[in-house]
Structure 1
Amino acid sequence: MSLPYAQDRHTAVEAQPAFDGRMPTAPGDLRIEAHGIAPVPEDRRYGGPGRLFTVWFAPNLTMTGVFTGTVGIALGLDFTTALAAVVLGTLVGAAPTAYLGTWGSQTGAGQLPLARLAFGRGVVLPGALQWLSSIAWDALIGLFGGDALAQLCGWPFWLGVLVMMAAQGALGVLGYEVIHRLQTVMTFALAAAFIVLATKLLHGVQPVTTGSVHGADRAGAFVLTCTIALSLALSWAPYASDFSRYLPRTTSRPRMFWCTLLGIGASFVAVQALGLWGASVFTDQTARGIDTLLGGGALGAFGLLSVALAALCSNAMNDYSGSLALQTMGVRLPRPVAAALAAVLGFPLVLWMHAADTTTRFQNVLLLVGYWIPAFVAIVAVDWTVRARSRNGSPIDLADESSRRQPWWPAPTAFVLGFAAATPFMNTSLYVGPAADALHGADLAYGVAFLVALAVYTPLRLRLRP
């Protein structure tokens, strides 16, 4: 019997008990999911595409998105121009995530495990980056969630973060179905909280109507704001099919795409618009800004609780996908243990970000954790397209596809070259590439990485047997 992804001895996953295990059986089965990266059998699939809207909507209603929205104003743009950049960047970043998410129902596999088809044993490279990125996102989001919880309960910052990390780790351990059910409930609760916050903003804060940058500097600030928004939405791409792998193969792929796109797009645009509007209120201490804006008391406490719950929802998904990435690298930890490990490692990173210039460190981490993703998306999309066309419309069979040996080096080569080509176009406070500097701060690294990886990998892949 051929094994999924068995291009070599490093990729035989079903032979490893740590990669298999108990699966949820139906909506509402909230027992621990021990199942790891082994594909979900078709007779164990359930659910419909509508749940993809809530699972991708709720986790984005975080103060990370709000704080990201303030960056456009900090760069000198006016509200209208910055909002246009946010909408454009969000939609461009959300589309690949929505597309990749449709593969879950077709294969029963998570996104990084599926990347074995293209990368072979070279999947260790994107696997390691995805695992590290999940820890970084734990810090980016836990920074605000822990701060809110600490202020709500009167705790020191470190204790608020510690409790937040413990709670999100527990949800990551429980797994797929618990996360889906939590996001369904939180979609309504968090949407109500952000509506209250938006109402307060509309009546108490005026947006910036005149920008402080002009000409080429304004264009550069627009592109950088667009890139930062894109990085938020695109950051979900390596997670995409992790949360659709239990859907039946017969699930409508167009409906899956649009539910995901709408969930990511609507939530990210809403929270970033909130940040743009209230940029004068939301500072490094965003939790305190919300408490002040809502007038303290019961309403302020409600706002702080919402911030903490939003962070919990998002980071549970980070820990879950991080556990699959770690297994994809060949680490034989049971999935629940791997999820808990991601939460543990995120704790010191939060403390580091909080210890000095939060704005600078936040922006650096936000950009740096995503620069590898465009090349990854280009490679796996080309590989999938070639395989799908070779089947003339018949379903993808993972066991059959993985038995077709092919060289492993083209994907890592295109991946590295895409990242290298993008380096001159990067713009962070740690490093500003010469191209970004010449373009008045415009960060085009995401687009360059995608196009170069696409140009390098496509001819190499077409020369291989399908």
Structure 2
Amino acid sequence: MEPKQNSPLLEGRSFDYVPLTERNGNLLSQTQLWFMINASFLTAATGALGPLSGLSLPWTIVAIVVGSVFGTLFQAFHGAQGPRMGLPQMIQSRAQFGSRGAVLPLVAATIVQFGFAIFYVQTGASSLGIVVKEVPSGLLQVLVGLVALVVATIGYRLVMFAEKTVSWIMVATLVVLTVGAVTLLPVGEMMANSTFILAPFLMQFAAAATFQVAVAPVVSDYTRYLPVNISGAKVSASVFGGTLVSAVWIEILGAILAIAYPKADTVGGFAKLSDAMLPGLAVVVMIVSLITCLNAVAVAFYSGSVAFLTAIEGFRRFTSTFRVRATAITVIGLLVIGASLFVPNSALGSFSVFLAILVYFLIPWTAVNLTDYYIVRRGILSISDILKQDGGIYGRWGKAGMISYAVGFVVMIPFFSTTVWVGPAAAAMGGADFSFLVGLVVSGGLYLILTRNFDRAAEYEAVAAAPINTIHNHEEAPALSTAGSTE
């Protein structure tokens, strides 16, 4: 039996519009959600890059803070789009790329989300393995994946409830770990070393910024359920504050632990610190780590399935339902669980390179999307046309968006820096990867040039005539995924 779209438990929607009658939530719940997006011990690995490359702790902290602030600005601006448009993040790309032209960033977003899920499944299983040592790792990975799959299938409400509940537990855990790090580890000596090395500093800055920009493709998936009249600036502020605090906090802890326990992995460092504070405390901390990983996998499954369905619907017409979303999550989720069993820990370094390359595909997208929304179209969009399979007034192929995206990506290549290839521009900067900055500037700037003759007045009239739009966003949604298609 198909649940109602506004079922109090099962979410009936995937990539479709959320009408005003189903809008709820507040800024505090959003802050808690976005705090938890990064509140996994896996985040600490990003903060460890500087110290492991020879950068002192004070300069590592500066690079983490400045890089995180810069990267978080872009994901935060996406937050305001959700309540105004009532749509998940990636389907909004149809206004710039067309209903079919958006497939490339959509596929990249899908694979990135499910790729990160593999990391979180393995991290959650490693955390649980410290608690129940006799259980095979493979079984633990299956357990973590299946529980997250169920949460993601039930949908937005359960995800929000879980994130809000666990946020308090995670804050308490981080406070305890921070106190332990300051009192038991030679943090004072670490801070006394103020050696500055340019290449590791740039590397740490770029890593922290890219880590935050990578969250951009999922932001509106969760802010779309907020009331339409809520302040966009306040929504962006809640996203900004939530993700920034957790990322900076955990990355700094990761930097400290990397110096104190250079041979330990990310999870192992937290376990060592916990046991140094109180024998047996590591078990409690690892349980918290497990819970945060479960939440992270559920978020990845949820947003990845929405992006995947959006990409498919651009080529084959179907109606967004709970059954469709549940099927997508189940099939792809099982593939992720299977992949986690066959990707050994020794191969995770190579796999992280693969994910980094996929994140590159999302940098030009966020530049084009934000430039279009805030500068070119100024938030005036037809929701009805975005949800048409033929793209409506936006068409199937958005040339300005596609060209800006492609050129931005190509220009980024010399600035790529991975363990398998370092571009000439990155090599000249000591291996620091500033491709994200190049992609943002080039793609956004080129899109402005290509849309300089955009007839805003004519499109405004077309948008105003649409059943659902951001000018008069008060109508109830019809069967939007197929309405008005000329396929």
Q: TM-score when scaled to structure 2? A: 0.83
Q: Which of 228, 232, 235 is 1:253 aligned to?
A: 232
Q: Distance in 1 between matches of 2:285 and 2:351?
A: 22
Match of 1:306 among 266, 288, 297: 288
1:93–1:232 CA contact under 8 A, matched in 2: yes
Instruction: Give the counterpart letter for 1:37 in structure 2.
Output: F
- RMSD of aligned alpha carbons: 2.4
The one-letter code matched in structure 2 to 1:199 is: V
Q: Offset of 1:223 from its aligned partner?
A: 1.3
Q: 1:162 aligns with which of 142, 152, 160?
A: 142
State whether residues 76 and 211 of structure 1, in contact with CA within 8 Å, keep that contact through their aligned partners in structure 2.
no
Q: 1:41 to 1:224 in 2, by over 3 A?
A: same
Look up the match of 1:455: 445
Change in CA separation of 1:350 and 1:88 when aligned onto 2, cut-off 3 Å:
farther
What does residue range 277-316 of structure 1 map to in structure 2 within 5 Å? Answer: 277-279=256-258, 280-281=260-261, 283=263, 285-295=265-275, 297-316=279-298
3-state secondary structure, aligned to 1:330: helix
Does the 8 Å contact 1:102/1:244 carry over to 2? yes
Q: Deviations over 1:434-454 (max 9, x none)?
A: 111111112110011111111
The answer to whether the Cα contact below 8 Å between 1:123 and 1:328 also exists between their aligned partners in 2 is no
Identity among equivalent positions (%) equals 23
- Distance verdict in 2 for CA 1:220–1:256, change over 3 Å: same
TM-aligned CA deviation for residue 67 of structure 1: 1.9
Aligned mates of 1:351, 1:458 — CA distance in 2: 45
Pick from 25, 38, 56 the counterpart of residue 47 of structure 1.
Answer: 25
**Partner residue of 2:480?**
none
**Equivalences for residues 380-459 of structure 1 within 5 A:** 380-386=369-375, 388-389=377-378, 396-399=381-384, 403-405=392-394, 408-459=398-449
Q: How many residues align?
A: 435
1:378 match? 367
**1:147 match:** 126
The 8 Å contact of residues 116 and 300 in structure 2, kept in 1 or not, is answered as yes
Give 2:227's aligned amino acid: P
Listed as ranges, the gaps of 5+ residues in structure 1 are 1-19
Give matches, 1:108-257, under 5 Å.
Answer: 108-120=86-98, 121-154=100-133, 155-207=135-187, 208-209=190-191, 218-257=197-236
Q: Deviations over 1:79-117 (max 9, x none)?
A: 010111111111111111111111111011001111111
CA shift, 1:211, in A, is: 6.8
Following the alignment from structure 1 to structure 2, what is the Cα–Cα distance between the partners of residues 436 and 387? 32
1:35-82 CA distances to partner (integer Å, 9 max, x unpaired)?
111111122212222221011012311111112211111111000101
Moved more, 148-157 or 405-414: 405-414
Q: Which consecutive unaligned segments of at least 5 residues does structure 2 have?
A: 457-487
How far apart are the structure 2 equivalents of 1:357 and 1:112?
30
CA contact (8 A) 2:385 2:394 kept: no
Distance of aligned partners of 1:257 and 1:372 in 2 relative to their CA distance in 1, 3 Å threshold: same
SS in 1 for 2:236: helix
The reply on whether 1:335 has 2:325 as its aligned counterpart is: yes
- When residues 116 and 361 of structure 1 are mapped into structure 2, their CA distance, relative to the original with a 3 A threshold, is same
Q: Residue 398 of structure 1 aligns to which amino acid in structure 2?
A: I
How far apart in 2 are the matches of 1:364 and 1:211?
31
| TM-score, with length taken from structure 1 | 0.87
The 1:285–1:440 alpha-carbon spacing in structure 2 relative to 1, beyond 3 Å, is closer
C-alpha contact (below 8 Å) 1:143/1:354 kept by paired residues = no
